[in-house]
Amino acid sequence: MPEGHTVHRLARTLAGLFEGETLTVTSPQGRFDAGAALLTGHRLVASEAWGKQLFLGFAAPADVTWLRVHLGLYGAWTFASDGSADVVHAIGAPRARIGETETPLADAAAGPWAVPVPRGAVRVRLLGAHAVADLNGPTACEVITAQEKAAVEARLGRDPIRHGDSDAARGEFVARVRRSRVSVGQQLMDQSAIAGVGNIYRAEALFRAGVDPLRPGRDVDETTLGEVWDDLVTLMRDGVVRGAIVTTRPEDRGPDAPGIRAAGGLAALGPTTRRHERRAPVPPGAVLRAESFYVYQRDGLPCRLCGTPVLVKDVGGRTLYWCGSCQS
């Protein structure tokens, strides 16, 4: 499932392509015909993200009407333009199921701008003067009022990307976690406690803080929880810029990482065909996906810092990864 930084990138991309334009909104799939009819012919005036929720505001005669989208496990937006805008092909949950990666448009046709034929079951198509955006496979897609939007936001915790500069938001997060005996690992996945954190940021932020994810929230001190919030602000905002999640420090990557050396080097990792250790080509300056994380999807592999095997456990229907030594 795309994490919060992906939705913020979407909000920025859609704003850059369409904000201020009067759009043609359709539902090639047909499942959103009624909603599209309420939005088409109106101007896009806002593009916002709060956690994993995307809100697109359209100027209506009486008020702003909002399109609310939650991508869920399989949702993604795909883009095409006439060349006047530099866009990636897809942001969301790519069909190849490669997590947070944004994929370039491999089969883009050269030549004059021609609006592409919708691919697959397109729930919503936004068409402007110079670009088109298609939404496939969302968990939620609905037209709501400003009051209904406010009600959705009221159910969400603070978003580290959106509210990261607010001391009040930091304090709310700390107080919320410490009020409960529910494990801190579970609470970080609760969107009413903190919005936008998914399985990757949960595992990585707790590792970086040295916090046992199974520890009850009320047993984690305020200072540590404040540091977790601050770290998530930094990591998630970095994810917005990169278009990828990278939580490892440079000195903790590769065969020279302390834990990898202690475990016998890269040779100790075994076959490199495991999904989390594949060495796929990456753009210059980018970090290999296999080197981007400390514990996420590294079950059984040596901890990058201490060399002990990374642990894995099913918690609340999601896979939890942690180091039993560094996070004791």
Highest mean pLDDT pick, 83-92, 182-191, 270-279? 182-191
Average pLDDT over residues 252-273: 72
Rounded distance between C-alpha atoms, residue 162 and residue 168, angstroms: 13
Average pLDDT over residues 134-159: 97
The radius of gyration of the chain's CA atoms, rounded to the nearest angstrom, is 21
Spell out the residues 6+ positions from residue 307 whose beta carbon is closer than 8 angstroms to its own. 258, 259, 260, 261, 262, 263
Give yes or no for residue 101 having a pLDDT over 60: no
Catalytic residue among 9, 28, 48, 52: 52
105 and 88 Cβ atoms separated by less than 8 Å: yes
DSSP assignment of 29-63 equals TSTTHHHHHHHTTSEEEEEEEETTEEEEEEE-SSS
Question: For residue range 171-204, what is the model confidence (pLDDT) as tens digits?
Answer: 999 999 999 999 999 999 999 999 999 999 999 9
Between 280 and 208, where is the model more confident? 208
Any idea what DSSP says for residue 20? T
pLDDT band at 87 (very low <50, low <70, confident <90, very high): confident
Could you tell me the strand order of the sheet in which 131-136 lies?
24-26, 122-127, 131-136, 76-81, 90-92
Give yes or no for residue 42 having a pLDDT over 50: yes
pLDDT at 226: 98
Residue where the block lists tokens 């602000």: 233
Q: Provide the terminal-to-terminal Cα distance of the chain, rounded to the nearest Å.
A: 28
> Is residue 102 annotated as a catalytic residue, yes or no?
no
> Is residue 3 annotated as a catalytic residue, yes or no?
yes
Catalytic residue among 12, 43, 253, 318: 318
> Is residue 52 annotated as a catalytic residue, yes or no?
yes
pLDDT at 43: 97
Give yes or no for residue 8 having a pLDDT over 90: yes
Separation in Å, CA 168 to CA 165, 175, 280, 327: 9, 10, 42, 28
Q: Enter the pTM of the model.
A: 0.89
pLDDT band at 289 (very low <50, low <70, confident <90, very high): confident
> Is residue 250 annotated as a catalytic residue, yes or no?
no
157 and 196 Cβ atoms separated by less than 8 Å: no
DSSP assignment of 172-228 equals HHHHHHHT--SBHHHHTT-TTTBSS--HHHHHHHHHHHT--TTSBGGGS-HHHHHHH
**Domains recognised in the chain with CATH numbers:** 4-154 (3.20.190.10), 160-322 (1.10.8.50)
Catalytic residue among 2, 138, 160, 302: 2
pLDDT at 268: 59
